[in-house]
Structure 1
Amino acid sequence: MPESKKIKCLVIDDELPAREILKKHIDGVEALELCGTCSNAVEAISFLKDNRVDLLFLDIQMPHLLGTNFLRTLKNPPKVIFTTAYRKYAVEGFELDAVDFLLKPINFERFLKAVNKILQVNLQGNDDMATLPENHSETLPPFLYFRANRKMVKVQFNDILYIEGLNDYIKIITVNKTIITKHLLASLEEMLPSNEFIRIHKSFIIAINKIESFNADSVEIGKKEIPVGRLFKFNLNKILNSTAASQAISSHPLKKNNGGSH
């Protein structure tokens, strides 16, 4: 990714181990660039005067000035992800329009979930993240990043066929590759557009427009027959019978299997 299009990050935390963990996480995401670290709000104020920053990873409980109070001093603050060991600050953090709120210790999976929110509002290279339009959700870039084989891999939504949950891991089947990564299926479900994907089983999420055939108990995508869980049948039937679903799958007309009706 070109340097000019990377999201420039500043880490503000009074604890060195916390700064090191965030630095490691940031270095693991191609779309992010660490432009500096600060141990307190005073250092951060000075840094922000001379440097462009798109995203703050901001600790709340710091000496002299709380991170929340520091953020209030900024006239045009960058996007912010709060980091703290204390849940009690969560409400105040979101009142300040934080993108996310990370509880320490911060694992990479949770970090990546927060970062993907930023990637989706960084409108395809828009350099001014602080002035995004309120209706930016209509133009979300259709992809997510996942860690696989010691690197971050971009996965386009329209390439995904289905996703299978494997305990603490998921297997993402796309039109041209398979990716296995450590991630919870329920967490990923929240990050996918609900008009394009649906969970049909405790272990499967499918792309609606990739369904080739279906019956009462399963759907077929490519050569894979995927079971429909009893608790998920109602939602699937509702989607398949809706006008929106008919439009979404127009490029792959559905045909009913002889095994039953939907």
Structure 2
Amino acid sequence: MKKINCIIVDDEPLARDVIENYILRVESVNLIASCKNVYEAFNSLQKHKIDLIFLDVHMPEINGIDFLRELNQSPAVIFTTAHLDYAAKSYDLGAIDYLVKPIEFTRFLKAISRVFKHIDYPVTIDNKHSNQSEDFIYLKTEKKLQKIFLKDILYIESSNNYIKVKITDREVIAHKKISEIYDSLPKHKFIRVHRSYIISIDHIDSFSPVEIEIKKFKIPVGRKYRENVKTQLGYY
């Protein structure tokens, strides 16, 4: 299978880590270099045949948009940024997509699919990199991204447009809808049991059709979710 060669260009190490982790899960994409500035990116473009750039907008000295303008022949570009301000300008420059941080895996896949359609390659998800002990997500809390390993999540509780992620040693509160976080989680490891709760199947201590217990926390099972919970957990 022919792969798309890509590079990441972002001055934030955590932001690069997120994209790197996502790329590992897509067999058809090959990461050539993870660059912290446009100078490293330019060197990679000179040395390798690059099909796709994940390009941050705000970077020191030269921003992503100015860098793209300087390229005589640009690969496909997906902009990655924490700001919406430059969306229209990026599409004027021919960008395939514009991803707003923090980036969910489902949204990343949608952008990748657009690239594959653009150059007519198939998309293949690589399940060998979906090991629960290694997978993680980033959640935006206040002004920083927090890395959370999926294996450490006990359950997630929602309150309006916020979620509280209960981890083995702490709680993380983030501004996100519970439906959005659920879409980014592997369904064989996490299950939504209530309009306000998602639980980790691996951490269940005991359960009944109406209640699940995890580390002494008692979590209700919503009426509309009971049949699915019983089926997925094998309650007969």
Identify the TM-score tier after normalising by the shorter chain: 0.5 to 0.7
Indicate the residue corresponding to 2:126 in structure 1.
136
* 2:156 maps to which of 158, 163, 181: 163
Distance 2:105 2:46 in 1: 26
Indicate the residue corresponding to 1:225 in structure 2.
218
Once the 2 structures are TM-superposed, how far is the Cα of residue 29 of structure 1 from its aligned partner? 3.3
| Letter matched to residue 31 of structure 1 | D
Distance 2:42 2:16 in 1: 26
Q: Any idea what SS the aligned residue of 1:138 has?
A: helix
- Listed as ranges, the matches of 1:36-185 within 5 Å are 36-37=37-38, 48-49=45-46, 55-57=53-55, 70-71=74-75, 81-82=78-79, 84-85=87-88, 93=96, 101-102=97-98, 106=100, 108-109=101-102, 112-113=103-104, 134=124, 136-140=126-130, 141-148=134-141, 150-185=143-178
Conserved 8 A contact 2:209-2:229: no
Once the 2 structures are TM-superposed, how far is the Cα of residue 181 of structure 1 from its aligned partner? 1.4
Once the 2 structures are TM-superposed, how far is the Cα of residue 51 of structure 1 from its aligned partner? 8.4
> CA distance change for structure 1 residues 167 and 203 in 2, over 3 Å: closer, same or farther?
same
* 1:189 maps to which of 182, 187, 196: 182
Does 143-152 or 160-169 show the bigger shift? Answer: 143-152
Q: Any idea what SS the aligned residue of 2:209 has?
A: coil
Conserved 8 A contact 2:106-2:183: no
Indicate the residue corresponding to 2:15 in structure 1.
29
Once the 2 structures are TM-superposed, how far is the Cα of residue 117 of structure 1 from its aligned partner? 5.0
Q: Any idea what SS the aligned residue of 1:239 has?
A: helix
Q: Does 1:10 align with 2:1?
A: no
Distance 2:136 2:192 in 1: 18
> CA distance change for structure 1 residues 209 and 115 in 2, over 3 Å: closer, same or farther?
closer
Conserved 8 A contact 2:155-2:167: yes
Q: Which deviations, in whole Å up to 9, do the C-alpha atoms of 1:181-220 show, x marking residues without a partner?
A: 1222111111111100000111110001211122222111
Distance 2:157 2:53 in 1: 32
Once the 2 structures are TM-superposed, how far is the Cα of residue 231 of structure 1 from its aligned partner? 1.6
Q: Any idea what SS the aligned residue of 2:104 has?
A: helix
> CA distance change for structure 1 residues 135 and 150 in 2, over 3 Å: closer, same or farther?
closer
Once the 2 structures are TM-superposed, how far is the Cα of residue 9 of structure 1 from its aligned partner? 2.9
> CA distance change for structure 1 residues 52 and 226 in 2, over 3 Å: closer, same or farther?
farther
Q: Any idea what SS the aligned residue of 2:9 has?
A: strand
**Greater C-alpha Rg:** 1
Once the 2 structures are TM-superposed, how far is the Cα of residue 50 of structure 1 from its aligned partner? 5.6
> CA distance change for structure 1 residues 222 and 58 in 2, over 3 Å: closer, same or farther?
closer
| Structure 1: gaps spanning 5 or more residues | 1-6, 12-22, 39-43, 73-79, 94-100, 119-132, 243-261
Higher relative contact order (CA 8 A, sep 6+): 2
Conserved 8 A contact 2:106-2:184: no
Indicate the residue corresponding to 2:195 in structure 1.
202
TM-score (norm 1): 0.53
> CA distance change for structure 1 residues 151 and 206 in 2, over 3 Å: closer, same or farther?
same
Aligned length: 182
Question: Matched residues, percent identical?
Answer: 26
Once the 2 structures are TM-superposed, how far is the Cα of residue 8 of structure 1 from its aligned partner? 6.1
| Structure 2: gaps spanning 5 or more residues | 1-5, 19-33, 58-64, 81-86, 110-122
Once the 2 structures are TM-superposed, how far is the Cα of residue 153 of structure 1 from its aligned partner? 2.2
